[in-house]
Structure 1
Amino acid sequence: MKLNFCLSIGLAIFAFQAKAQQDMPHNFVYLKEFIPTIILDMRYFGSHNFTGRPIQGYEKPVAILTKRAALALRQVENYLNKRGLALKIFDAYRPQRAVDHFKAWSLATKDTIAKRDFYPLLDKKNLFKLGFIASKSGHSRGSTVDLTLIDLTNNRELDMGGPFDFFGDISHHNYSKLTAKQKENRKILRETMAKFGFKAYDKEWWHYTLQDEPYRKTYFDFIVK
């Protein structure tokens, strides 16, 4: 009897934990609802990404962040709007299962359908070793975002000198072989994000994390839906 009781309690705890991994925590928000003017281009919901396929954990093309990160990003958007610019989001919160999908994809070395657009100069088998793919991502903590700038007069992306999610030196902030305009566009994005509390990632011009992020050691796995 005691064994059955303990088993029942164990199953109940497991079910609760599983549900918790599926439900969005109350202090996360949908960016489009929180910042109506923001533009979304959620690459991992579709196939225009380095795997060439939709990614596990993305069931809708929506962007989610912690409320604290969203508040800061709203300040960025308002500041840019007054200067004729706006943000376009490529990715925000990323479920751990999506990160696991990336890792599994990196090990399938013959699957290279998106190589030409995203890693033409690299051998796929080295992507994990070189740090382009990892077992954990700051995105899963909920306060990291991938983005670029657009011109409000025509809704076109500013020229950053390289595409989002390109694996190579051209994506690094210190890449020197850029035009003056490309350097200036990256500088505008970096300085504006820093002004409102976001730190850049040196190897990816599009990647920013809220410095005062609320979950520094928690990696979530609820589905983007």
Structure 2
Amino acid sequence: MHPHQQAAVALSGVQKAIAADGLTLVVFDCYRPARAVSDMGEWTRQGGPPDPQWYPKVRRNDLIAKGYVGELSTHSRGSTVDVAIARADRKSAPKPACGAADADTLDFGTGFDCFDPASETAHHPLAGEATANRKRLVDAMRTGGFRNYAREWWHFTLENEPFAKQRFDFPVAAE
């Protein structure tokens, strides 16, 4: 197996495991070229007020300092994914006030990419089933060989990633 395939194979194993419970993974983000990370860093430095959908309590130029955006993202190593869980029948959960609201995921208390303390994996209190759903996701991903980034319930990196010290910058393009 090529080292680049390790994360994909591990993620496939998580998908197979949760499918037995009528669930499916929703992948929001995976490999991100270093040039895209650099562009995101530049975007944060342009500043701006809080944004109620994406970063309701933080100014844009504080997103790196607060740990919501990385100057050197683990996504550029090819072993990090941003994921959630949905019901395989795609029965919708309530839409979150912060973050992405376009996926039919389970209730996680916030949407994906909500840069707010409420997105911390262990944040309490959370309404509804969000705590149980976060635990379900973390447990499934941990069993599959991934570790969670505590600031973001959706962010996971392969435990024994093959390129832990490297960043890749090859572009992503449709063939």
Mapping of residues 34-183 of structure 1, within 5 Å: 66-110=4-48, 115-154=51-90, 156-183=104-131
CA distance in 2, matches of 1:145, 1:204: 11
CA distance in 1, matches of 2:60, 2:128: 32
Hey, what does 1:212 align to over in structure 2? 160
CA distance in 2, matches of 1:109, 1:180: 34
CA distance in 2, matches of 1:181, 1:162: 12
Cα offset, 1:125, TM superposition: 2.3
CA distance in 2, matches of 1:74, 1:129: 33
Q: Name the larger-Rg structure.
A: 1
CA distance in 1, matches of 2:61, 2:19: 42
CA distance in 1, matches of 2:120, 2:77: 23
Question: Which ranges of 4 or more aligned residues in structure 1 deviate by more than 6 Å?
Answer: none
Q: What is the one-letter code of the residue matched to 1:107?
A: R
Indicate the structure with greater helix content.
1
3-state secondary structure, aligned to 1:74: helix
Cα offset, 1:122, TM superposition: 1.3
3-state secondary structure, aligned to 2:135: helix
Cα offset, 1:152, TM superposition: 0.8
Structure 1 runs not aligned, ≥5 long: 1-25, 29-65
CA distance in 2, matches of 1:190, 1:133: 21
Structure 2 runs not aligned, ≥5 long: 92-103
Aligned length: 161
Q: What is the one-letter code of the residue matched to 2:82?
A: D
Q: What is the one-letter code of the residue matched to 2:113?
A: D
8 Å contact from structure 2 (residues 31, 81) kept in 1? yes
Cα offset, 1:180, TM superposition: 4.8
Q: What is the one-letter code of the residue matched to 1:132?
A: Y
CA distance in 2, matches of 1:154, 1:144: 25
Cα offset, 1:109, TM superposition: 1.3
Cα offset, 1:93, TM superposition: 0.6
Scaled by the length of structure 2, the TM-score of the pair is 0.86
Q: CA RMSD in A?
A: 1.7
Q: What is the one-letter code of the residue matched to 1:214?
A: P
Scaled by the length of structure 1, the TM-score of the pair is 0.68
